[in-house]
Amino acid sequence: MTKKIGRQTAALPSAPAVLSYAAVVGKKEGEGPFRDGFDRISQDSYFGQESWEKAESQMLWQCFTLACGKARLSPSSLDGIFAGDLLNQCVASSFAMKDSGLPYLGVYGACSTIAETLILASMAVDGGFAERVCAVTGSHFCSAERQYRFPLEYGGQRTPSSQWTVTGSGAVVLGTDGGCLRVRLVTPGRIVDAGIRDPNCMGAAMAPAAYDTLRAHFADTGRSPGDYDAIFTGDLGALGHDLLESLFAADGVSLGKGYQDCGVLIYDPSAQNVNAGGSGCGCSASVLCGHILPEMERGRWKRVLFAATGALMSPTSAMQGESIPGICHALVIEREE
């Protein structure tokens, strides 16, 4: 029996349930608008560890165990973990989860990773391959900054279009039953390369991918933006957010007032110096788990389209003059009455 809908979308007839979720973030993120939504805010950027890479792993582990604990689940009762991050060879995730004792499926979707892990985790549950799985991802400003850009001590200037890598993580435990939030549809994205070459302008590189995936989602499902109480893109930032609206406007489509971007939302632009907004795997993941899912549970939105975005480049590809391919993975989460 096929669950395919149109070209890119699949239905999840069993509607995998969000059993629990958690968000753990750093100090700066804890000073932003969602300070009351995050489960834990670390005042120590090292999270008690001796390197930023270990700090990132520690944050992911805390987030994973918190999410399990909130559902009163022992980690050993899960069937597997889908995880990934921005560090080379995804070591933040693999070192975080190496003692979990659970089957581990490593994923790389750059900043779209939380959506990709949720899609794969949802399919694992809906397909009957697992009863409970966790999707978890995160990023750390300090480990990302030195890997992708400059040593922190260098104090490099940032362009107005640049984004600030979020120190944060999000974990979602999905299962066959329980809770009021359900994953209903998934639309994995295609890679879209619009020819953008400036690694300080990720929003412009990713917006065309968000446009491609959302357009496919609307075409596959016969829905329009108005069918959703809220639409969230991953981390397009202020520039990418406006570009995406422009791309749809050229088709005569308005994304409406319900459209927002996690990269725009996570910091307070008037008080926090983040230029075009937040980015990183932890951006959309922590906004999902510290804002979107809690607000859905409270009844603010019933049907949400969540579309995390990623830039599939590396420092090497950028230095070799390559353009920046973008991707956007989307899924629909609904609150059951």
Positions touching its own copies (CB under 8 A) are: 1-4, 8, 10, 51, 53-54, 79-80, 84, 86-91, 94-95, 97-110, 116, 119-120, 123-124, 126-131, 147, 186, 188-193, 312-317, 320, 322, 325, 327
Q: Whole-number minimum distance, CB 280 to its own copies, in Å?
A: 13
Q: Whole-number minimum distance, CB 326 to its own copies, in Å?
A: 9
Enumerate residues 6+ apart whose C-beta is below 8 A from 315: 147, 148, 199
Q: Whole-number minimum distance, CB 46 to its own copies, in Å?
A: 13
C-beta separation of 60 from 6 below 8 A? no
- How far is it, in rounded angstroms, from Cα 59 to Cα 169? 7
In the bound state with its own copies, the residue whose beta carbon lies nearer, of 29 and 53, is: 53
Task: Supply the angle between the helices 202-221 and 237-249 in degrees, to the nearest 10.
Answer: 40
C-beta separation of 273 from 141 below 8 A? no
Q: Whole-number minimum distance, CB 239 to its own copies, in Å?
A: 22
In the bound state with its own copies, the residue whose beta carbon lies nearer, of 186 and 293, is: 186
Q: Whole-number minimum distance, CB 55 to its own copies, in Å?
A: 12
In the bound state with its own copies, the residue whose beta carbon lies nearer, of 253 and 318, is: 318
Q: Whole-number minimum distance, CB 94 to its own copies, in Å?
A: 4
**Count of residues making up the chain:** 337
Categorise residue 146: left if φ over 0, alpha if ψ from -120 to 50, beta otherwise: alpha
In the bound state with its own copies, the residue whose beta carbon lies nearer, of 11 and 70, is: 11
In the bound state with its own copies, the residue whose beta carbon lies nearer, of 16 and 240, is: 16
In the bound state with its own copies, the residue whose beta carbon lies nearer, of 39 and 126, is: 126
**Residue 72 exposed, middle or buried by CB count within 10 Å (0-12, 13-18, 19+):** exposed
C-beta separation of 204 from 309 below 8 A? no
- Residue that the structure tokens 């959703």 belong to: 228
With b meaning 16 or more CB within 10 Å and e meaning fewer, what string describes 158-167?
eeebbbbbbb
Position 303: which residue type? R
Q: Whole-number minimum distance, CB 192 to its own copies, in Å?
A: 8
- How far is it, in rounded angstroms, from Cα 216 to Cα 209? 11
Element (H, E) at 175: strand 168-175
In the bound state with its own copies, the residue whose beta carbon lies nearer, of 115 and 238, is: 115
- Residue that the structure tokens 């985790």 belong to: 121
